Amino acid sequence: MAENKQVGRGAAIDIRSVSKVYGNFTALDNVSLGIRPGEFMTLLGPSGSGKTTTLNVVAGFTEITGGNLEVGGSSVVGIPAHKRNIGVVFQHYALFPHMTVGRNVAYPLALRKVPSAEREKRVKQALEMVKMSDFAHRYPSELSGGQQQRVALARAIVFDPPLLLMDEPLGALDKKLREWLQLEIKRIHRELGTTFVYVTHDQEEALVLSDRIAVFNRGRIEQVGTGRELYDEPQTLFVARFIGDSTVLRGQANSDGTSTAISIAGETVTMDKRLPGNGAPVLLLRPEKLALRRRGNGQGESGLNRLSGTVTEAIYLGSGSKYEVRLKDGSTAIVRSPLGEQSFDIGEAVEVTFAGADAKLLADDSTADQTLT
């Protein structure tokens, strides 16, 4: 707890080529993921992508059908969940309704035959850590959702597990509470030094909490990296669209090996980048890499790519503005301009400009579209 705070007492996790097949449905398809001791790793993805299955596999609730799984350096395959010594926090709290908060938190200690004086001390510390000390004698039904989840968290950390798994723990709470609890979870992670594995479908939550994020799609991991890496250097279109806003453009591509020209509804953009593999690429642009200017307003800066379009939506965000621009080929560009820039009205004819270096060329895995919609 707070006073025996130390770094590196979390367990490393090594998920190696793990598969989970139910009949003819593949929930996990050859998933590999290494998690460092003390790391905050988020498994992010849409529902049915395999993130919760991965969590259940690590917890021991689900047996794997292939591969190997190591926690803290030794294989846990075949070891039942109750012998794994891993803390789990569930979306629906799962507090025992017939026990008080204090007895709920003491439950794992009682199972471990911790002497009662020691037990009381640790329950008190755990409840202090989640700021629920005043509620030890209440029953779960007398608490709000956020309070229940904090008690569940205390119960999952009170026995000092080297690994804590959380399955969408804030999913049932309202936005304000969720944001506050995110910071609480971050603080607790920092103070405990335990390895945290966190499952969510909320990309913002993933960005706030995580050291690294693993993006899941259709039973596979698409990419693992820090939030910044996933935003700036997405390896697949799916990742690009799942994390942050993006403009995705398709067109006729021509490459001479070092640079690529793409023709989109009669307008051509160029960049010094090579095509990713074979087949038609997609052009990906983040909103803050795009700029707007009025059409027919001189030549402007040279070396910038231009696409003409019409403003269809203008949203004032306080810290700047967000525009949606319908381009000539019918696709929508999302542009974010910082505070103090010129403003545009809906219906205005504009040009969207960007530097070739800011564009990303990705293979068109249009299957990703289906999963997103």
Q: How far is the CB of 251 from another protein (least distance, A)?
A: 50
Kindly report the backbone phi and psi dihedral angles of residue 15, in degrees, each rounded to the nearest multiple of 5, phi listed first: -100, 115
Q: Rank residues 171 and 356 by Cβ distance to another protein and give the closer one.
A: 171
Per CB under 8 A, contacts with another protein among 155-194 are 155-156, 159
Q: Could you tell me which stretch among 17-25, 78-86, 221-229, 312-320 binds another protein (CB under 8 A)?
A: 78-86
Q: Rank residues 155 and 218 by Cβ distance to another protein and give the closer one.
A: 155
Binding residue (CB under 8 A) for another protein from 82, 175, 176, 228: 82
Do residues 79 and 139 lie in contact, with contact meaning Cβ atoms separated by under 8 Å? no
Distance of CA 96 to the CA centre of its chain: 30
Do residues 242 and 44 lie in contact, with contact meaning Cβ atoms separated by under 8 Å? yes
Binding residue (CB under 8 A) for another protein from 9, 16, 36, 92: 92
Q: Could you tell me which stretch among 88-96, 143-151, 242-250, 352-360 binds another protein (CB under 8 A)?
A: 88-96
Per residue in 137-155, is it b (16+ CB within 10 Å) or e — as a string? eebbeebeebbbbbbbbbb
Q: What is the maximum alpha-carbon separation in the chain?
A: 81
**CA gap 284, 199 in Å, rounded:** 27
Binding residue (CB under 8 A) for another protein from 88, 335, 359, 368: 88
Task: Determine if 76 is a binding residue for another protein (CB under 8 A).
Answer: no
Q: How far is CA 61 from CA 57, 65, 84, 255, 319, in A?
A: 6, 13, 11, 50, 45
Structure tokens at 212: 């690294």
Q: How far is the CB of 61 from another protein (least distance, A)?
A: 6
Q: How far is the CB of 31 from another protein (least distance, A)?
A: 21
Task: Determine if 61 is a binding residue for another protein (CB under 8 A).
Answer: yes
Task: Determine if 108 is a binding residue for another protein (CB under 8 A).
Answer: yes
Task: Determine if 243 is a binding residue for another protein (CB under 8 A).
Answer: no
Q: Rank residues 140 and 219 by Cβ distance to another protein and give the closer one.
A: 140
Per CB under 8 A, contacts with another protein among 114-153 are 139
Q: How far is the CB of 82 from another protein (least distance, A)?
A: 5
Q: Which residue has the tokens 């205390």?
A: 154
Do residues 56 and 30 lie in contact, with contact meaning Cβ atoms separated by under 8 Å? no
Q: Rank residues 83 and 175 by Cβ distance to another protein and give the closer one.
A: 83
Q: Could you tell me which stretch among 80-88, 169-177, 178-186, 315-323 binds another protein (CB under 8 A)?
A: 80-88
Q: Rank residues 87 and 281 by Cβ distance to another protein and give the closer one.
A: 87
Binding residue (CB under 8 A) for another protein from 21, 94, 355, 363: 94
Structure tokens at 166: 């959380």
Q: Could you tell me which stretch among 105-113, 223-231, 241-249, 355-363 binds another protein (CB under 8 A)?
A: 105-113
Q: Where are the alpha helices (DSSP H) in 60-97?
A: none
Query: Any idea what the Cα angle at residue 233 is, between residues 33 and 256, rounded to 5°?
Result: 120
Q: Which residue has the tokens 């936005």?
A: 175
Cβ–Cβ contacts within 10 Å for residue 235, how many? 18
Beta partners for residue 69, in sequence order: 15
Q: Rank residues 55 and 361 by Cβ distance to another protein and give the closer one.
A: 55
Q: Could you tell me which stretch among 8-16, 58-66, 289-297, 324-332 binds another protein (CB under 8 A)?
A: 58-66
- Considering CB under 8 A, how many residues would be counted as binding another protein? 26
User: At a CB cut-off of 8 Å and minimum separation 6, what does 217 contact?
Assistant: 45, 46, 49, 238, 242, 368, 371
Q: Using CB under 8 A, list all residues that contact another protein.
A: 59-61, 80-83, 85-88, 90, 92, 94-98, 107-108, 111-112, 139, 155-156, 159
